[in-house]
Amino acid sequence: MNLLLAPMEGLLDFTLRDVLTRAGGIHRCVSEFIRITDMLLPERVYERVMPELANGGFTPVGIPVRGQLLGSDPACLADNAARLVSLSPHGVDLNFGCPAKIVNRHGGGASLLDDPELLHRILAEVRRSVPAGTVVSAKMRLGTQDDSRALDCARALADGGAMEIVVHGRTKLQGYRPPAYWARIGEVREAVKVPVIANGEIWRVADARRCLAESGCRDLMLGRGQVADPGLALAILHDQLVGDADDARAPTLSWPEVLQLFAAYWDIVRAHIVPRYQAGRLKQWLQHLRRRYPEAERAYQALRTEQDAERLATTLLAELPQACLAGPMGAGRYTAGFAAALPHAGKSAQLPPPESLPANGRFLQGIQSERHRGVRPEERAAERAGAAAQDA
């Protein structure tokens, strides 16, 4: 099986992709969406959202990243897909699943699921604009208000040229409220001839096991569950290998091991995010870790009002032995125990030794401007607003 790391606007950007792929078990990532409106975007926009493009389209530990586009104009999406492909990502993904109101108001994301014919035109145009060997995939939900058009939408995507479809098992209206309807994903899978990947509400090994059984899918996409539990992908792979029905015996990352990942995350954030947003990034991930780790809950309650990123990181990492902070954080740190036992674990189980991989953030060397150095659009907007207030 393959486990994909989901695109999550406002959360899972290149900084977390770097760290979560270090933990192991992830075979491929998809970038957060790049909004396409009415123009051909310059290369720097793609490089800002997907700095892995400067590293051959791989995260620093060697996991491939596919670029995701979001929009509704077939011709404009096609032109931008061609430009993205010229930068050598590992394929182009099209977003028909984002439920955000601001995106849907402007005719993007899940709102397009009301128009299967338009979905087909978009896929066909994008498919024609990129070389024949380029993977073009799509991510969709079950619908907007209900799931009555789910099969029509999936067929439109597949017939238009999608080589793979990720289905989030909820409608736009359902948002992220549990449950996810995995059996309905299975009906989509049976309706098309291309691979379908199941996504939604996978927090534990038991969830993954049930999702695979109910959907009939072979592969899964992990989102918030992987952010909350960086060892989830490895635990799922282990479960598929040994068939152990007891979640308690699945391998997990200890809190000290998670803190090692957090230390690496802090290094990346400190190097590539402007100082005023660093503390927010750290607290955002810590908040998600609360779901899986009691230690994260205690740390979050103690540090949630801290605005100085340096003090926040120093306090949080104080319990981690200095030897761990100084140790290697490259590929294989957590996959080593599984590499021999997982013949189908894919690229994450066959990574080169850490010393042969780029150092933290090395793949970002070509992006020197602070404006394009991993700062999210809303962060830049907030910075402009703050500057204007100061001027006033």
- Which residues does 268 contact at the CB level (< 8 Å), separation at least 6? 15, 18, 19, 360, 361
CA end-to-end distance (rounded Å), the chain: 57
- Residue showing tokens 């590293």: 55
Give start and end residues of each alpha helix (H) in the chain. Answer: 14-23, 43-49, 74-86, 101-105, 116-129, 150-160, 182-191, 205-215, 224-228, 232-242, 255-272, 278-289, 294-303, 309-316, 322-326, 336-339, 377-391
Q: Which helix (H) or strand (E) holds 221?
A: strand 220-222
Torsion 105-111-117-120 (CA) sign: positive
Distance between CA atoms of residues 58 and 64, nearest Å: 4
Other beta carbons less than 10 A from residue 204's beta carbon: 17
Distance between CA atoms of residues 167 and 118, nearest Å: 18
Strand-pairing partners, residue 137, are 93, 164
Q: Is 153 tagged catalytic?
A: no
What are phi and psi for residue 378, nearest 5 degrees?
-70, -30
Distance between CA atoms of residues 138 and 168, nearest Å: 11
DSSP state of 296: H
Q: From the candidates 29, 98, 153, 211, which is the catalytic residue?
A: 98
Enzyme catalytic residues? 98
